[in-house]
Structures are given as structure tokens and as C-alpha cells.
Copies of this chain bind each other. A is one copy, B any other.
């Protein structure tokens, strides 16, 4: 069994520590939240590990991750290895790898999929970096990935950045899949030809072409709330969908489904749409079509 430093014990990192420990690994965790942290500081975490160290970073993408990597570059020694398992943009990986490389520290980027279910089911892992570093971290990957053949839940996707790139595309696909189910749900809901919508969706779990894990989650959600009436149709997006679309643009790849899914989320968060005010204004101008004007109180 091996020893791992784990920085970031939030929703994902906390569960991963559990799964790694359950597999027999020694995990020393650090988080700013002292209630869950095993050490008082990042420095203490580094001191608590025997060289050559492996430190897995599991903090929010962007500045927090870049900052943590920069601090680790100062604290770690030649021969150590840093793994970024957050949802970083793949362009950050080159930067991180170069910075660490100047201190002789290796770097792997890992796309981690599975959400809150990963602790129990295992996490799908996509890794970028050098073969030797991947081999070195394999005991941790094997502990985190799902049961079954390694290649069905783990891939060494390519060089530095390839792991996060694969995860980015994975999430872009995920946007499209979710929106496809969602449009079908809305149509069933609106048309009222199907009397029992949750029962139909439940019945899609076996034998059908559309069966999937997301479908099973939709079944769960409908069991708790058959018309999803407790929720608002308000959906955040967290970066990967946007990046996927930007990559599609950069590579001149048509992405009508992924973009439609992203735009549906943007629209879901608008109280009112300036674009649709403009269309309403145009219709009023040329056709004298009735428009809705805002109610003014007082």
C-alpha cells in the first residue's frame, strides 16, 4: 500500500480519501476546513509525507488550483509528483507542469468523473502525463476507479493536458445527453398523450436504446418528485461545457447539440431576455402585433 497527500477535502476530495483508505492506502489530507483536515497546513502535509511524495490536488479549478500548485512547487522536492484531479482547463496543465518541472517535480492531470456516487461506485479516470508518472500513481488510480477491467474505467489519454481534455469533452457530451433527456421529458409532460410519464421513463431502464446511468438518475429524481415540481428550471454551468464549445470553435468542429445544451442553461438563468424583447419590439413595429409591456406599479 502507498502513501498519498490529498489537498482539498470537499465533496469530491472527502469521498476520495474514504475510498483510498478503504483500499488500504495511507492518505494524509489537508483542507482549510480544520474539521476535515488531517494537517494544519500545506507545509505540514508535505512534512508528513515520506519522499518521494505524491500529492493529489482536489481543489476548485482556476485560481485555487493554480495557487495550490504554485505553493507545492516551493514546498516539494525533486522527484516528487503532483496530480491535479480537479476540473482544470487543459491549458492550465502545461503551465502547471512547467512550473513544477523547474523544481524537478512531476505532474499528472486527471479528469475524475462520477460525482457523489464515486465513493461507492468508483470514479472514471482520464489521465494525462508521462508513462512513468502514470505507473507510479497507478495504485491510487486502481483504488479510485470502479471495479472491473481497468481499461473500462481508466485511460491514459496522452501527454500533459490530455486527461483534462478528455474530461472536458466528457462533460460536453454530458451536457448534450442531459438536454436530450430533458427535451423528451418536457414533450411527454406537455403533450399529455402519455398518462404516466414517470412510469414510462422508469421502463426505459432495461432493454431500450436510451438506457444509461443518467436515465437511472432521472428515474430516481422522478420517484422523489414525479413532476419535478419542487425545482426551478434554473441550471448553472461550470466551465467544461463552455470550454468544449470553445475547442469546437478552435477546431472548426460543428457542435450544434452541445452548444444548444449550453445555451439552454444560459437561458434558464435569465429572468427576461433582451433578445426576445428585441424580437417583440420588431413585431410591434412592423405588424402592430400585441406585445406584453411590463406592469408598472403605482
User: Which A residues are within 8 Å of any B CB, using their own CB?
Assistant: 11, 90, 113-118, 121-126, 145-148, 151-159, 161-162, 165-166, 169-191, 193-196, 199-200, 202-215, 217-218, 220-222, 225, 227-236, 242, 244-270, 272-294
Contact = CB atoms under 8 A, between A and B. Distances in A.
Contact of A155 (B179, B200, B229, B242): B200
Nearest to A181: B173
A172 B228 CA distance: 21
Q: How many copies does the complex hold?
A: 4
Contacts of A124: 203-204, 206-209, 211
B113 A207 contact: yes
Q: Of residues A157, A181, A244, A257, which shows the largest number of chain B Cβ atoms within 10 Å of its Cβ?
A: A257
A166 B182 contact: no
A195 B258 contact: no
Given A232-B272, A242-B249, A169 B151 contact: no
A279 B228 CA distance: 10
Given A126-B200, A177-B181, A253-B266, 17 more contacts: A90-B193, A124-B207, A157-B199, A162-B195, A170-B210, A172-B183, A176-B180, A182-B278, A189-B274, A191-B250, A209-B213, A221-B278, A221-B285, A231-B292, A245-B249, A254-B264, A257-B261
A202 B292 contact: no
29 contacts: A113-B204, A113-B208, A114-B209, A115-B286, A115-B287, A151-B202, A153-B208, A169-B188, A172-B184, A173-B180, A176-B184, A178-B283, A180-B180, A183-B275, A185-B274, A186-B254, A190-B253, A210-B214, A217-B286, A218-B282, A221-B284, A228-B281, A230-B294, A231-B280, A231-B284, A231-B291, A232-B277, A232-B292, A267-B267
